[in-house]
Structure 1
């Protein structure tokens, strides 16, 4: 009996021992697993810290390069500087008659006055004014450079602003002074002031052009008969107003006053004829003896307008060139008539008065160019678009000046005259060499 009872006892003891061993094994494995998980967690944490401390991984470089591509900065060997300050698209600009300032207007309701002396500096200060309850679409300086006018985008009329002075004589605050009555039924597309100060011009997108007194009285209303107006301007000499539009011509009128300064009439002077389609824009040189026009037919033309229009003499066509790109073209003629600049889309095309291409620059702006123009000295050409105005050296003008002086030297009578011309040639050559030596390569736009 004792031997039979001992067998189950041994079995029970063995079973209990096995269970205890299994439990110990499970505990051991669990601890090992926790230890391994802890070690893996610590390794991952260390790895994560190392990755944070090393920002030069391939992934980070790729992101940085992408951001860099998004922030492409315009550069060109002719670039002298850029005017930055507006927070939205610039719509227009104009140069003061005294040559000291350029003014810009934008969709952000601001007007900004910049000094031309700072064109080549890295930093550009400006005086800011605001267009209350509206925004300016076009801007033009008064002849004395103490005021300017704008066309209002919402009110669709003209507002006069005055520029205050500080104690040192520099420009101060900018404040609105007068609003003209609303007369245009369609959108105003441009404005102008005669250099004589006798009248102001506004033109709208229908067929209306209005000649105003400087106090806002209507002197004359003109039907341009273009079907639709595309552009209008006052000549720099202050004698003419001109318009272009759907019809293939530029119409020029003389605004006549009596000897005592009283308004007399607006009479037809001459026309530019020769394009086969509507004319986007046109431009005068400083004394109105030359004009340039750009058309939907894909051509631009250069004209001699030093004519006896009172004797029915027509302008002479000097050259016809092809536009570089399709679409709307803004054309500008330098004050001396030696350089032409054309803005199309976001690009800029510059050539001389003989039609030779000097520079073709694509993607000057990130948006369609809004305005181009030469400063009064003719040393710079400015291109406005998006939120920037880029100031470029007028290299074409320098070259043309040197060529003309060389020609004058061969014709000069007297040693003193020749030496004076040689001195001017040397000065122009030194200035051109300085500009081209300081310029940088075109890393943005593929200029010639």
Structure 2
């Protein structure tokens, strides 16, 4: 009995030892395999290597934005020398040059005769410690004025022709004084060479002489200005903005050239909402306006405004618009071009018909839109590239107008001249269309 008791006790002790060993083993196993959500894992995570630390500290490289690609059969050329955003364009009055300014601190002068060439050379004027947002040629095409973004002033550059035919660009000794408090929306110089205009968004327009002296200040009373410009004839300054009209003033000078006054000339009334932009024909006898109300209008401004005669509304056409839409009227008054964000629509001004549409022309909102003085091209910009389009709508409109005139002509000499002009215009149109097909 005693032996049996001892044996049973030994078995019991052995069983207890086995149970304790199993329990301890399980506890070690659980401790060596912490749960996924356990903070133990976070505290015991492997420290990053030196290479990984260096990679974390390195800033990601700023990738250069890809150049926007655009193709169209009526695209004549793309001028690509700017490395920054192009904000303004202007043609010289002699038709030989196109100026473009950019936030890359340069102004480029392009030769219009090279538009159809494969290579497009240009001359560069550097803007030291600043950049120009606006540029305008002088009437003699030998100088240009700019608006400097940081200096908030007008600076004049003279173009000095060298023996090899290229130009040097020399800034005038002093910039214009700072007179504006609001953001500048446009500058201009009269074709007569008598005055310079600058306009800001806060309803102020300043009229300067060529030396930077203030001749007059205009308050447009439009709450905000969206656009202002000098007429091609050099007599008028016009402005549009929050109100649904365009206001036009005459800048008056005496017979001996002395400044007299700025007098209200006429208004363009007819839109039902604010006017985004306007433009003149080359003879200033026609104007076009584009409004927030979703229409563009063509006006006959060849009126006796001093006798209180109002301009005539010739046409109202619905169109697609957006905040900042721009409108351009061809110098001969036959074509209207309108921007809508990055798209362009071209209309026959006589019929109001939409004839061409260009979509996604630039990778940003179109900043400027202009026809060359010979009615051959329409140019636009909204990124780093200036795009040049064939004005096919203009060729067609000119042919239609001359055919109408031919039917009414009673003089043999006039009829012969019109037939020749129609033939020349048709030949030019055919050349453009054939090149576009190829």
Q: Output the TM-score relative to the length of structure 1.
A: 0.81
Q: Tell me the residue number matched to 1:276.
A: 272
Residue in structure 2 matched with residue 425 of structure 1 by the alignment: 422
Structure 1, unmatched stretches of 5+, are 1-69, 442-448
Distance (whole Å) between structure 2 residues aligned to residue 141 and residue 254 of structure 1: 21
Structure 2 SS opposite 1:403: helix
Select the residue among 211, 217, 224 that pairs with 1:221: 217
What is the CA–CA distance in structure 1 between the aligned matches of 2:230 and 2:152, rounded to whole Å? 19
In 2, Cα distance between the equivalents of 1:384 and 1:258?
A: 39
Give the equivalent residue in structure 2 for 1:48: none
Q: Does 1:239 align with 2:235?
A: yes
Matched, 1:209 2:200: no
Residue in structure 2 matched with residue 147 of structure 1 by the alignment: 143
Pick aligned residue for 1:414 from 408, 411, 430: 411
Correspondence 1:59-74 to 2 at 5 A: 73-74=69-70
Is this contact kept in 2: 1:296–1:328, CA < 8 A?
A: no
Q: Is residue 88 of structure 1 aligned with residue 88 of structure 2? A: no
Give the TM-score taking structure 2 as reference length: 0.83
Q: Equivalent residue of 1:179, what SS? A: coil
Cα distance in 1 between the residues matched to 2:339 and 2:153: 27
Query: What displacement does 1:71 show?
Result: 6.2
**Map 1:170-189 → 2, pairs under 5 A:** 170-177=165-172, 178-189=174-185
Aligned match of 2:373: 376
Asked whether the 8 Å contact 1:244–1:251 carries over to 2, the reply is yes
After superposition, the C-alpha distances for 1:228-274 in whole angstroms (9 at most, x for unaligned) are 11110000000000111111111000000000000000000000111
Q: Higher relative contact order at CA 8 Å, sep ≥6: structure 1 or structure 2?
A: 1
The whole-number CA distance in structure 2 between the counterparts of 1:72 and 1:105 is 19
SS state at 1:241 partner: strand
- What CA distance in whole angstroms lies between the structure 1 residues aligned with 2:263 and 2:313? 23
1:420 & 1:290 partners in 2: Cα distance? 25
Match of 1:36 in 2: none
Q: CA deviation at 1:196?
A: 0.3
Partner of 1:360: 357
8 Å CA contact 1:157–1:188 kept in 2: the answer is no
CA distance in 2, matches of 1:87, 1:194: 31
1:139-180 superposed Cα distances (whole Å, 9 cap, x missing partner)? 110000000001111121111011110114x34112211310
Q: Which range moves more in the overlay, 379-388 or 320-329?
A: 320-329
Q: Which 10-residue stretch deviates more, 354-363 or 140-149?
A: 354-363
Please say if residues 163 and 171 of structure 1, whose CA atoms lie closer than 8 Å, have aligned partners that are also in contact. Answer: no
Shift of 1:282: 0.5
User: Match for residue 319 of structure 2?
Assistant: 323
**What is the deviation of 1:413?**
2.5
The answer on whether the counterparts of 1:248 and 1:274 sit within 8 Å (CA) in structure 2 is: yes
Q: In structure 1, what is the equivalent of residue 388 of structure 2?
A: 391
Cα distance, 1:414 vs structure 2: 3.2
CA deviations 1:94-136 (Å, max 9, x no partner) are: 0001110000000111100000000111110000011111111
Counterpart of 1:103 (choices 99, 104, 117) is 99
Report the CA distance between 1:278 and its aligned residue. Answer: 1.2
Change beyond 3 A, Cα 1:190–1:71:
closer
**Alignment partner of 1:310 is 2:306:** yes
Q: Distance in 2 between matches of 1:422 and 1:359?
A: 27
Deviations 1:76-99 (A, max 9, x none): 121111111000110001000111
**1:262 to 1:325, Cα distance in 2 relative to 1, 3 A:** closer
Contact 2:276 2:323 in 1 (8 A): no
1:197 aligns to 2:171 (yes or no): no
Q: Secondary structure at the match of 1:261?
A: coil
Distance 2:407 2:367 in 1: 43
CA–CA separation in structure 2 for the residues paired with 1:356 and 1:263: 43
Comparing 138-147 and 420-429, the one that deviates more: 420-429
- Given that residues 332 and 372 in structure 1 are in contact (C-alpha distance below 8 angstroms), is that contact kept between their aligned partners in structure 2? yes
Match of 2:127 in 1: 131
**1: CA distance, partners of 2:224 / 2:321:** 23
In structure 1, distance between residues paired with 2:127 and 2:319? 36
What runs of 5+ residues in structure 2 fail to find an aligned partner? 1-65
CA RMSD across the alignment? 1.3
Shift of 1:377: 0.4
Q: Secondary structure at the match of 2:156?
A: strand
In the alignment, the residues of structure 1 paired with residue 97 and residue 171 of structure 2 have an alpha-carbon distance, to the nearest angstrom, of 19
Preserved contact between residue 280 and residue 296 of structure 1 (Cα < 8 Å): yes
Could you give the per-residue CA deviations for residues 282-326 of structure 1, whole angstroms, max 9, x where no partner exists?
Answer: 000011110001111221111111111001111111111122243
Q: 1:257 to 1:309 in 2, by over 3 A?
A: same
Distance 1:152 1:99 in 2: 25
